[in-house]
Amino acid sequence: MTPEQTAEAAKAAVNKLGGAFGTCPKTLRRARELGLTGWAFHVAGRGGALGDVRSDTVAAALGFIAPEAVHDGWESARRVARPDQIAGYSLDECCRWGREKLGDMPRLARFVDLMERVVLAADSAGLPLFAAWRAMPVPDDEPGSRAAVLLHLLREHRGGAHLVAVRCSGLTPLEAIIASPDGEAGAIAYGWQPPYPVLAPLVRRRVWAEALTDRMAGQGYRALSVDERTELVGLLKSAVATVREPTGEFPAVTG
């Protein structure tokens, strides 16, 4: 299994589990306790790792969310707390979710070891959100917590790589969403307003962007041997089975 093939094989589990904590009912309750909507917590929880920057800077890093929707969530959150504080709260919820959902996973220590090697080897050039999140100190060293944080980092790395790949393919973020499996529903979920672009001319470029995403996201997997890559893909499938219950997620436009 090549690094690119590993990235493609890991995609579904990474996208599913890496952001599952964000739509967990307990996370949304924490947001309400802080005086935030779930949307504001999502935007500032992710973008807050960049610090107290302008909303257009956050929109550029998030990429697939409409700038107006980013602005609304970001400014609403900033009225409650500093963005870096909200990112810290989000990280706490990620750790809590990992303890609860992955703490009893078989071979958890091995799972953490393999993912950590990939995350540390991943090149962050051109991926500011991934770099910012990787630099954040993890408040909980429990294996389930570490696993959840590493899954989130793998998701941010792939999402950042996909954004770069989409732009290299000549697509806009909105065009990439329309050409994704979620289509217009994904565009609506991420705050984009109609009229939407026509699908047919976008499909070939989307396929090319997916292949480039696998190549970029696969870079970190070079830290593992061929057997270890296969092992990690198997452990990712085990993690999905361990969680069991359906995991909420934002539309999978992260490639």
pTM of the entire predicted model: 0.95
User: Average pLDDT over the chain, rounded to whole?
Assistant: 95
DSSP structure string for 18-80? HTGGGG-HHHHHHHHHHT--HHHHHHHHHHGGG-S--HHHHHHHH-SS-HHHHHHHHHHHHTT
Backbone angles phi, psi at 153, to 5 degrees: -65, -40
Is residue 247 pLDDT above 70, yes or no?
no
Is residue 250 predicted with pLDDT exceeding 70? Answer: no
Give the closest residue to 71 by CA, choosing from 93, 39, 28, 31: 39
pLDDT, one tens digit per residue, over 110-136 is: 999 999 999 999 999 999 999 999 999
pLDDT at position 246: 55
Amino acid at 240: V
| Per-residue CA distances from 211 to 34, 83, 137 (Å) | 40, 34, 32
The tens digit of pLDDT for each residue in 161-216 reads 999 999 999 999 999 999 999 999 999 999 999 999 999 999 999 999 999 999 99
Question: In this predicted structure, what is the pLDDT of residue 253?
Answer: 53
CA atoms within 13 A on the CB side of 13: 23
Residues 221 and 232: their CA atoms lie apart, in Å, by 10
Give me the pLDDT at residue 65, please.
98
Give the residue-averaged pLDDT of 61-77.
98
* 48 contacts 87 by C-beta, under 8 angstroms: yes
Sign of CA dihedral 105, 251, 43, 77: negative
